[in-house]
Amino acid sequence: MVTGEASTAIDVQHSTGPAASTMHAAASWGSPWIALIVPVVLLTLWVVVSARGLLPPGVLPSPWSVLRAGYEFIMPADVQPLPGVVTYRGAVLVHGIATATRVGAGYGLAVLLGVPLGIVLGASQRIAALLDPLLQALRPIPSLAWLPLALAWFGLGASSTIFLVFLGAIFPILVAASDAVRRVPRSYSETALMLGIAPRALAWRVYLPAALPGIITGLRLGISLAWMVVMVGELTGVDRGIGAMMTAARESGRLHVVIIGMVTLGGCGALSDWMLRQVCRPATRWAER
């Protein structure tokens, strides 16, 4: 018979054993501060390389010049911009809103077309046999190859950029949706038919809820590619947008401004992905259990 003091000692020993140490280590690695290790190391290397002059500013600008460029990009300008000229000083909202509008329009069209078409392709073998070969042939074509056609069809301006963003975002959404629907067990649809659900309603009442986690993965890939492709789209002669600002800076040799544009695009893409995950999380909470 084990006394109370002995059982307490055994509990303490178990709580301080290897399993407890493993749990504490896993909890420490799950800390959000872990994500700062690699950026801090890279930033430190950047500072050291710039301070020692190992690379010339024309190859890698110093962190201080980039910070100064970022300050100029955010702070309001003292002079009014000239029409048709790509501005930089105090133009963060001008370029940011222009690029975000094009990304939102192109990505929204990709979602409206890609998700329903992907569900239909995954649920119907006949439609998949009809359309899938053409879609698989179009999917590897890079967005830059579509640029001449976009200019010919839509001309200079935002429309061609929206078209390119649409092409860049729709294929990962389409493939993820169709693949997720194909992975839905057949027993789900058979059970739904037995319960009286009409065959035409299977796509929205069975396939869509069951395939939603995979569809959301495609949506996340699509929003990332949308922010990548918008840079190509803004090479079409527009005077507003982060891509237009980066192009003008590259032509004038201002690499520190190019880095500011890269940081802005990366931040906007990360923010969009975070917002998408927060919006979709309540609908897929069941899949996390």
* Structure tokens, 128: 């998949």
Single-letter amino acid, residue 273: D
pLDDT band at 85 (very low <50, low <70, confident <90, very high): low
CATH superfamily of 73-77+85-288: MetI-like (1.10.3720.10)
Of the listed ranges 58-67, 72-81, 118-127, 268-277, the least confidently predicted one is 72-81
The residue among 108, 109, 224, 117 whose CA lies nearest residue 177 is: 117
What is the distance between the alpha carbons of residues 244 and 238, in angstroms, rounded to a whole number? 6
The residue among 282, 289, 280, 286 whose CA lies nearest residue 115 is: 280
Q: Are 102 and 230 in contact (CB under 8 A)?
A: yes
What is the distance between the alpha carbons of residues 271 and 282, in angstroms, rounded to a whole number? 18
Residue 50 confidence (pLDDT) above 90: no
What is the distance between the alpha carbons of residues 207 and 264, in angstroms, rounded to a whole number? 37
Whole-number mean pLDDT of the chain? 81
pLDDT score at 9: 45
The stretch 246-258 carries a mean pLDDT of: 84
What is the distance between the alpha carbons of residues 260 and 239, in angstroms, rounded to a whole number? 17
Q: Within 10 Å of residue 167's Cβ, how many Cβ atoms?
A: 23
pLDDT score at 279: 86
- Name the helix (H) or strand (E) containing 132: helix 125-138
Query: Quick one: DSSP state of residue 116?
Result: H
Per-residue pLDDT of 134-153, as tens digits, reads: 999 999 998 889 988 988 89
The stretch 164-183 carries a mean pLDDT of: 92
Q: Within 10 Å of residue 80's Cβ, how many Cβ atoms?
A: 7
Q: Are 132 and 205 in contact (CB under 8 A)?
A: no
Instruction: Name the residue with higher pLDDT: 177 or 10.
Output: 177
Residue 24 confidence (pLDDT) above 60: no
Per-residue pLDDT of 189-221, as tens digits, reads: 778 777 777 777 777 778 777 888 889 999 999
For 64, the 3-state DSSP assignment is: helix
Per-residue pLDDT of 264-286, as tens digits, reads: 999 999 999 999 988 888 776 66
Helix, strand, coil percentages (3-state) for the chain, rounded to 5, are: 80, 0, 20
Rg (CA), the chain: 26
CA 100, chain centre distance (Å) = 13
pLDDT score at 200: 73
Q: Are 261 and 242 in contact (CB under 8 A)?
A: yes
What is the distance between the alpha carbons of residues 224 and 280, in angstroms, rounded to a whole number? 16
What is the distance between the alpha carbons of residues 245 and 240, in angstroms, rounded to a whole number? 7
